[in-house]
Structure 1
Amino acid sequence: MLSGYDPTLLAWALSAFFVAGGLFNIIAPPMLAAEYAHWGYPSWFHYITGLCELSAAALMAFPPTRLPGGVLAMAVMAAAVITVLWHHQRTHAIAPGIVFVLTGAMLSML
């Protein structure tokens, strides 16, 4: 679809997004911890999410590991979309849905 385009800028932008998201999930301010509890996840699950996001960010930053990083990033965003839709928080699905599509676009450039 988008072959022939250089995915570097998009990959770096996505990496920055996932670094921010990963740190936010690891720090887990009280309102985020409350959301995880509302969704029925264990109290420690935000650490797993944050670690996955930081791993995806690191992998997407470098060309040789962009593919596995993008796949991991898409899995995290798919899980986020499914979680909020399951809990009828439709507007919360917009941002991870967009990031899912952008990550797919980046992968299609590889």
Structure 2
Amino acid sequence: MTGTAARAWPRRLKTAVYLVVAAAFMVGAVTKYLPGETFFGPPYSVKFADWGYPSWFRFVVGTIEGIAAILLVIPDRRTRFAGATALVFVLTGATTTHIVNHDPISESISAPSYLVVTTVMALANWPADWRDVLRPRRDAVNA
């Protein structure tokens, strides 16, 4: 491998991981809007009610998941940090919900697994200065 190809490999692998995670959450976001049963089981309106949430709360969670998935795909550290951080909050709630409701491990393993992955993504894209997330870019200001 040449020097350029050797440097491109990790970047491509990282991009592939972001795309796979984003695709998984986009599928999850879309299924939260479906009215009937999904390939994940019963309708999410029923699942959310069983978990103790109002059935409309699935739209809130689905919207956050969809926006976060889009942010993960954009090749910018700030947007990836924002998307991963949003998913960390959603997945913390999902993991807590599964624990409180004593869901079987077969139904609840994906939430803590993705929580670990998205936490690593958020830490990998952590801004040098946390205020950078909220500031406009300098190149955009000077243009």
TM range (shorter): 0.7 to 0.9
Q: Deviations over 1:37-70 (max 9, x none)?
A: 1111112111111101101101111122100000
Q: Residue 55 of structure 1: which of 56, 61, 67 is its match? A: 67
1:107: Cα distance to partner?
A: 3.0
TM-score (norm 2): 0.67
Q: How many Å separate the matches in 1 of 2:124 and 2:46?
A: 38
Larger radius of gyration: 2
The equivalent position to 1:66 in structure 2, one of 62, 77, 80, is 80
1:17 corresponds to which of 24, 37, 60: 24
Aligned residues: 106
Q: Aligned equivalents of 1:22 and 1:48: distance in 2?
A: 10
1:18 Cα deviation (Å)? 0.7
Q: Calculate percent identity across the aligned residue pairs.
A: 27
Among 99, 106, 111, the alignment partner of 1:96 is 111
Higher helix share: 1
Residue identity opposite 1:94 in structure 2? I
- The one-letter code of the counterpart of 1:40 is G
User: 1 CA distance for matches of 2:22 and 2:47?
Assistant: 24
* Partner of residue 38 from structure 1, selected from 39, 50, 67: 50
Measure the CA separation in 1 of the matches of 2:123 and 2:15. Answer: 12
Q: Report 1 or 2 for greater relative contact order, CA contacts < 8 Å, sequence distance ≥ 6.
A: 1
Instruction: Please point out which of 78, 90, 94 is paired with 2:92.
Output: 78
Q: Which moved more, 1:86-95 or 1:9-18?
A: 86-95
Secondary structure of the residue aligned to 2:102 is coil
Alignment match of 2:15 (pick from 8, 18, 22): 8
The answer to whether the aligner puts 1:29 opposite 2:36 as a matched pair is: yes
- Counterpart CA distance in 2 for 1:9 and 1:108 is 18
